[in-house]
Amino acid sequence: MTDKPVILVPGKIHPRVIERLQPRFELLQTPPGQPVELDETDAARVRGIAIAGAVPGALIDRLPNLEVIANFGVGYDGVDVAKAASRNVIVTNTPDVLDDEVADTTIALLINTIRRFYQAETYLREGRWQSEGPFALSPLSLRGRHVGLYGLGRIGGEIASRLEPFKVKISYHTRSEKPGVAYDYRPSLLELAKAVDTLICIVPKTPETHKAINADVLKALGPNGVFISVGRGWSVDEPALISALKDGTIAAAGMDVFYEEPKVPAEFLNLPNVSLLPHVASASVPTRNAMADLVADNLIGWFENRTVKTPVPETPVK
């Protein structure tokens, strides 16, 4: 035992978080995929948590001296923030440092979905270019598209500014119209879907966004429609999307996030008009290092001088 503050690290986290925390804290690491097992003495010693996963209210309840939870990721839906706030426990996330990477990935996924580059490359690798001739023309194009952003926050804004040079029309829906934003605002998701032919989902996981992308929204998007999912799989009614892709209600979809990760419905794998990524939008070494540094900086800042860089809005300190 040392007199360093004790940080609980449940399950797996980026190794750089451990590397940065190790010299200043005593770390209690628990095995991945299992509920956290701590005796009462250890539970009472925990003052901080570093997490890339879930912190349920029941865990917070068991830690009487918990002060801060540092979440690896901008989406902190795995952390019971209401419970944390009720206990005056600070929660931090990792915004800003991943916006550009996620926005870049979104544009790549959009173009890949529309122009079928994965299929084209596979065709070349299989030697079919030589044996069968040129790859089939892609039925879809980004040219002349009208893109709707469901969510226009830090990442949505970066996606929109990247879309501008592509000369597409841009509209958006959020709960409140953004002052000073020139893009066309639609007061509901359904109205946005009716107006556009390309829909990008980049809202957080909240009760209101659950299965928001449903059969009605997909029908409104229409037969030339392309849907891109980079927010959370939670926001998509996957059976409705699979039906829409199968029967031509929409033309194609690109997905980085899924309802029950890492499980991906087999139907998606068998569809020719989807582009699928295993939740990699922020997954480059430099960006994940920056996220890891922010997790460590928040914990170090809190225990050195009671400041955190990136508290979530629900948290008791600003």
Judged by the rule CB under 6 A, the positions of this chain that interact with ligand NDP are 74-75, 95, 98, 102, 151-156, 173-176, 202-206, 208-209, 230-232, 256-257, 279, 281-282
> Minimal CA–CA distance to 147: which of 213, 216, 199, 106?
199
Comparison of 49 and 257: residue with beta carbon closer to ligand NDP: 257
The alpha carbon of residue 178 and the mean position of all alpha carbons in its chain are separated, in whole angstroms, by 21
CB 303, min distance to ligand NDP, A: 26
Q: Closest by alpha carbon to 278, among 248, 255, 310? A: 255
Nearer to ligand NDP, 74 or 240 (CB): 74
Closest chain position to ligand NDP (CB): 153
Nearest approach, Cβ of residue 263 and ligand NDP (Å):
16
In the complex, least distance from residue 182 CB atom to ligand NDP, rounded to whole angstroms: 15
SS (H, E, C) 175-225: CCCCCCCCCEECCCHHHHHHHCCEEEECCCCCHHHCCCECHHHHHHHCCCC
Cis amide bond preceding 311, omega within 30: no
Distances (CA, A) of 11 to 115, 120, 173, 185, 198: 39, 39, 36, 42, 38
Residue 1 beta carbon to ligand NDP: minimum distance, rounded to whole angstroms? 37
**Active-site positions?**
232, 261, 279
Q: To the nearest whole angstrom, how small is the minimum distance from the Cβ of residue 234 to ligand NDP?
A: 8
Alpha-carbon distance values, 89 to 92, 136, 138, 294 (Å): 10, 56, 52, 18
Select 74 or 196, whichever has its Cβ closest to ligand NDP.
74
User: Of 8 and 55, which has the nearer Cβ to ligand NDP?
Assistant: 55
**Of 26 and 104, CB closest to ligand NDP:** 104
Pairing of strands 6-10, 26-30: parallel
227/128 Cα distance (integer angstroms) = 29
